[in-house]
Amino acid sequence: MSSTHIPKAFDTTDVTFIASGKTKSIFKLNKEDQYVLILSNSSITAGDGAKKDELPMKGINSTSTTCNVFRVLQLAGINTHYIRQEQNNSFIAKRCSMIPLEVIVRRLATGSYLKRNQHITEGTRFNPCLIEFTFKDDVQHDPLVTEQDILEMNLNIGGLQVNSKVLSQIRHVANLAFEALERAWASIDVVLVDFKVEFGVTTDGEIILADVIDNDSWRIWPHGDKNQMKDKQVYRNIPLQSGAPTVGTLSDEQTKVLVDNYSWVANESAKLVDYMVTSNHSTSNTTTTTPSNQRHSNVINNILSPVPSYSSPLTRHINQSHQVGQPCLSMPPANGNSPMVGIIMGSQSDWETMKLAANTLTTLQIPFEAKIVSAHRTPDRMFEYARAAKSNGLKVIIAGAGGAAHLPGMVAALTSLPVFGVPVQSKALSGVDSLLSIVQMPAGIPVGTVAIGAAGATNAALLAAAVLAPFYPAIDANLEQYRKKQTDAVAETPSDNPAAAAHGHAISTPSSNDMVSHISTLLSVQPQSSSSSSSSSSSVSLTTSTSSSTVSTSQSSIKTVKPTIQTQSTTSSSPMQSLHSPLTGVNSPIRSTSPSIVVADKSPLSTFVLSTLRPSALVLPPGSTIGILGGGQLARMTAIAAAQLGYKTHVFCPENDASASHVATFTTKANYNNYSALELFASKVDVVTYEFENIQVEPVEYLSKKVAVFPDPKVLRICQDRVQEKKFIQSLGVGTANFEPVESLEMLQTAIQKIGYPSILKSNTMGYDGKGQVKITDPVDLESAWKKVCADTNTSKAILEQYIEFESEASVIVARGLDSIELPFSMVTNKHRNHILRQTIAPASLPEYVHKDAKEIASKIGKGIGLVGVLAVELFVVKRGDTYQLLVNELAPRPHNSGHWTIEGCVTSQFEQLVRCVCGLPLGSVDLMKRVTEKESLATDSPIIMNNLLGAEVDQWEKCLSQKGSHLHIYAKGDAREGRKMGHVTIIP
């Protein structure tokens, strides 16, 4: 990656002509030969030059549009060749060797795609986007090519071999760029239908978005109305009269329409930049020691560079004393990336609460460090930390403690820095003891004490920001933006949940009228962009099961150490850049009220994919490395399945001797919010997936800007929030239990009046295998239930659900590939003990129509959420007279315990299917391995049985092996604690 200093000014009088195209000329800057001047002209052509016209102002409008588009992409964290606008018809860019490929990204089916796929209806929505390649060759009219065609070309551009990994990177970046622009255009009610982009290789060997992206590069439909298109397609649609000249084809009226269109696009494109800036969606990185961080400072400089008639509100975030080309960070701490806030706590268990302070500081782009400093168990460490805090550059300390809670007061007695105390909820008195201990300080030893638990941790971070804001304008701006978003999120009028108020029935299925509003709201939720830098003494170990060599890093250096592998990082950078690429909804944005209606969101497109993407549908070839977040048994079995297909795996987890580390090729031991470790991890893998959904979404979003992550973090965000998850499910027309969100005891008392008794109170986030769940049968239970749920998961948000009298619990797992093909496995029956899965019976002994319903539900959810990977749908089977009805309980966007039977029971296991999905391989068959069909299996009542081995049951492994038809799996997890999943055995009849 290049970290070249960008000159403050360029000499554009001393240039050498390099090349010209139909609409632009390119000149090398002789005094800065790694840069070029790109000059746009006013030509407009169609049909590979079959007709050509001069369009007044087109060169100026195209340059303005291109520069604004590149600013949007750079604010989205996407690296491009753009440096700055020079004149109204020219801009400066990095000199590149262009890869002779156009990458076409399609959201809606239209144009040439329909000519090649006449069975597809116009307006059909591709989710994820469809990506195609064309080869740049005017003689052959830029033919469509597959990835296999490209590989056979053996292209070497700028010293870079264009292989499968490069193509995968290009596809990933092109998709990110499209989604960034799609969001920006949507902010002014314009639908981005498709676009085409090109990539180049810089003199430093870096692959970046290049060329121009202007009104010739896309289709845009204001208000989703094709008749209102403003792009070059308007010119293409003007027919040539027979015998008429092919140059100068336009009438005065046609010229005026086109000039107005291009001017409109140029003007509106400036609003896209404002949207990215003012909505805080730019991806910031406050660390200055890595190439990517240097690139971020360049992004800020580019935005602020002199541009005709353009000004940005971002200028108030910038210290004007900085010079162009130097790191212009929006928050300049005295020591570069030194932490400004210290988060300390008495024990590891306090982190569940205190990480909310860390998350808030990250959102506000405030560097921090997090340490365990116990007043009782490590008093010397506490004394040393408190006395050195000020000299180490800290400005504020946030101290969390439970029980006796002496830590905040002791630290306040040892330093003059402001100290905010967070009472951590205790088991004995629900945190009241902690609160009283912290707040009752003697005069002269002040501790700013906040609320108990999660709210207090968040507020402590906000107070720290308020202390810093008067001295750091960028923090002040971020804090104002944070507060504004809180205000904007509050509705003006109250409304009851329509599903929960549906006549008191236990089952709630929304009407079709509700569906669009629910889904568009849910899937367009944008997390805040954030950046921070934390300093800690955490260590990160990167191990390999196949080699004794060692990789050790300190900052950006990498050296080999033998015989053990240990990475020591003194600075844990945490740039939580969460520029998100949310789904904009299941349905097409084309409006049904438009006079030019295009029917959208058709049935799954299983016919177009392999013929238009590539013959083998191969994105990542065997030998590539799959990154897995999490080191448990699911990661273990995924790694085994990956190895069978020839892939390497790299597990990232905080545990010592993790189950998956025994079989993975590489292991990184680090906390999930250790961004230095994540940065290194991303550089070592080709794609990333995760084995559980209770991981913080911010690190996953951060990784998604470095490498492809499947399922997308937006899927994770929905599935982590039970309220949003149920709203999303209902928006698809799929039934769930009635529910009400709960954030206090008072809200619980109101919610129970709507839901009734009995009901289930669950934590809204976290919680699994029954943790954070309480059944409520009478009013006496309310307060104790609320306290238990809050204590179990350290959260103050919950969901109250109607208790469902079900006949059985079931689940179905669906796999969905990059090509949008979906394949659900057979529905299974699950039996639980103490909320922990005990046994799975496959297939479920239910009528055939119920199996069909389950698969349709799973496929609908997979398609609606934009799944790439596997997703488990947990179901309640409710019997109404002689018929069965399925209600969705929860979703899990990863392999599921109830799918372990597929390893021996199906042609393709859920784990192999996940590998196929994330690597772009065709999905495997989900047929049963038995020599009978699913229907025959149901008729003969000879199901496949999967039994979990819990706790000490794993000691009966010899007995399991002696059972006929058994297949034993032991997870090598260490202590066999009661209820812990230690293995499973599958019995094939």
CATH class of 16-240: alpha beta
pLDDT for 855 equals 95
Kindly state the helix (H) or strand (E) to which residue 859 belongs, with its residue range. Answer: helix 848-864
The single-letter code of the amino acid at 630 is G
Beta-strand relationship, 883-892 and 869-880: antiparallel
- CA dist 685 and 628 (Å) reads 9
Calculate mean pLDDT across residues 67-76.
92
- Going by C-alpha positions, the residue among 531, 485, 527 that lies closest to residue 300 is 531
Domain with residues 610-708, CATH architecture: 3-Layer(aba) Sandwich (3.40)
Is the Cβ–Cβ distance between 75 and 285 less than 8 Å? no
Distance between CA atoms of 138 and 100, rounded to whole angstroms? 11
CB 342 within 8 A of CB 398: yes
Highest mean pLDDT among 547-551, 558-562, 644-648, 753-757: 644-648
Is residue 299 pLDDT above 50, yes or no? no
Average pLDDT, integer, range 75-94: 91
Q: First CA to last CA across the chain, in angstroms? A: 57
Cβ within 8 Å of residue 415, ≥6 positions away: 386, 387, 389, 390, 397
Query: Which range among 478-482, 606-610, 810-814 shows the weakest confidence by mean pLDDT?
Result: 606-610
Token pair for residue 629? 């977040």
The per-residue pLDDT for 337 is 56
pLDDT at 703: 92
Domain ranges in the chain with CATH number 3.40.50.20: 610-708
Does the pLDDT at position 514 exceed 60? no
Measuring CA to CA, which residue among 282, 304, 334, 697 is closest to residue 477? Answer: 282
- Whether pLDDT at 747 is above 80: yes
pLDDT band at 265; cut points 50, 70, 90: very high
**Contact present, 887 and 861 (Cβ < 8 Å):** no
- Start-end of CATH 3.30.470.20 domains in the chain: 16-240
- Give the span between the Cα atoms of 181 and 191, in whole angstroms: 10
Q: Which two tokens stand for residue 655?
A: 């545990």
> Is pLDDT of 322 > 50?
no
In the predicted model, what is the mean pLDDT of the chain?
Answer: 79
What sections of 469-559 are H helices per DSSP? 473-488, 512-523
For residue 834, name the pLDDT band (cuts at 50, 70, 90).
Answer: confident
How many residues appear in the chain? 989
Give the pLDDT confidence of 332-361 residue by residue, as tens digits: 333 345 789 999 998 888 887 888 898 889
Q: What is the pLDDT of residue 9?
A: 77
Rg over CA atoms, the chain: 29
Q: With cut-offs at 50, 70 and 90, classify the pLDDT of residue 906.
A: very high
Q: Is residue 693 within 8 Å of 716, Cβ to Cβ? A: yes
* Bond before 245 cis per omega within 30 degrees: no
Cis bond leading into 824, ω under 30°? no
**Residue 849, burial from CB neighbour count under 10 angstroms (0-12, 13-18, 19+):** exposed
Could you tell me if 556 and 288 are in contact, meaning their C-beta atoms sit under 8 angstroms apart?
A: no
Q: 673 vs 8, which has greater pLDDT?
A: 673
Residue 616 has pLDDT above 70, yes or no: no
> How many Å apart are CA 346 and CA 402, to the nearest integer?
8
**Residues 775/760, Cβ–Cβ less than 8 Å:** yes
Q: How confident is the model at residue 277 (pLDDT cuts 50, 70, 90)?
A: confident
User: Among all chains, which residue has been given the structure tokens 């968040």?
Assistant: 458
Q: Tell me: the pLDDT tens digits for 779-827? A: 777 888 888 888 777 777 899 999 999 999 999 999 999 878 899 999 9
Q: Which of 317-331, 421-435, 679-693 has the lowest mean pLDDT?
A: 317-331
Torsions phi, psi for 909 (to 5 deg)? -75, 165
Instruction: Report the pLDDT value the prediction gives residue 770, as an integer from 0 to 100.
Output: 60
Question: pTM of the prediction?
Answer: 0.53
Highest mean pLDDT among 478-487, 528-537, 581-590: 478-487
* pLDDT band per the 50, 70, 90 thresholds, residue 427: low
In this predicted structure, what is the pLDDT of residue 517?
A: 33
Residue type, 853: D
- What's the average model confidence in pLDDT over 965-989? 90
**What is the pLDDT, as a whole number, of residue 5?**
56
Q: Tell me what pLDDT residue 908 has.
A: 95
Contact 141, 46 (CB under 8 A): no
Instruction: Provide the CB-side half-sphere exposure for 745 (13 A, CA).
Output: 10
Average pLDDT over residues 619-639: 93
Sheet holding 341-345, edge to edge: 368-372, 341-345, 396-402, 419-424, 448-449
pLDDT at 93 over 60: yes
d(CA 247, CA 768): 68
Question: Would strands 448-449 and 419-424 be described as parallel, antiparallel, or unpaired?
Answer: parallel
Across 175-189, average pLDDT:
93
The pLDDT of residue 772: 75
Which is higher by pLDDT, 833 or 628? 628
Lowest mean pLDDT among 47-51, 214-218, 625-629, 820-824: 47-51
The per-residue DSSP string of 387-418 comes to HHTTTTT--EEEEEEETT--HHHHHHHH-SS-
Q: Is the pLDDT of residue 36 over 80?
A: yes
Over residues 24-51, the mean pLDDT reads 87
Strand partners, 105: 131, 195
Cα separations in angstroms, 918 against 202, 711, 712, 913:
29, 8, 11, 9
Residue 972 pLDDT exceeds 50: yes
* HEC per residue, 571-597: CCCCCCCCCCCCCCCCCCCCCCCCCCC
Residue 375, pLDDT above cutoff 60: yes
What's the pLDDT band for 937 if we cut at 50, 70, 90?
Answer: low
Comparing CA positions, the residue from 930, 936, 922 lying closest to residue 986 is: 930
Q: Once rounded to an integer, what is the mean pLDDT over residues 376-385?
A: 88
Q: For Cα atoms 777, 783, 785, give the angle at the middle one, nearest 5 degrees.
A: 55
Q: What's the half-sphere exposure (Cβ side, CA atoms, 13 Å) at 183?
A: 27
| 614 or 797, higher pLDDT | 797
Q: What is the distance between the alpha carbons of residues 371 and 378, in angstroms, rounded to a whole number?
A: 12
Mean pLDDT of 506-530: 35
Token match 């750079």: residue?
A: 74
pLDDT digits (tens, 9 = 90+) for 669-685: 999 989 989 999 999 99
Pairing verdict, β 101-108 and 125-135: antiparallel
Angle subtended at Cα 535 by Cα 533 and Cα 540, rounded to the nearest 5 degrees: 105
Q: Give the CATH fold of the 341-482 domain.
A: Rossmann fold (3.40.50)
CB contact set of 402 (below 8 Å; sequence gap of 6+)? 346, 349, 350, 423, 424, 425, 426, 431, 434
Angle at 293 between CA 287 and CA 295, to 5 degrees: 155
Q: How far is 358 from 355, CA to CA, in rounded Å? A: 5
pLDDT of residue 407: 93
Asked if the model's pLDDT at residue 547 lies above 80, the reply is no
Confidence of residue 856 (pLDDT cuts 50, 70, 90): very high
**HSE-CB of 700 using CA atoms within 13 angstroms:** 25
pLDDT at 767: 63
Q: What is the pLDDT of residue 768?
A: 63
What percent of the chain lies above the pLDDT cut of 70?
78
Tokens representing 908? 């393709």
Q: Phi, psi (5° rounding) for residue 617?
A: 55, 25
Token pair in block for residue 374: 């116990």
pLDDT at position 513 is 34
DSSP codes joined into one string, 181-246: HHHHHHTTTEEEEEEEEEEEEETTS-EEEES--STTSEEEEETT-GGG--STHHHHTSPPPTT--S
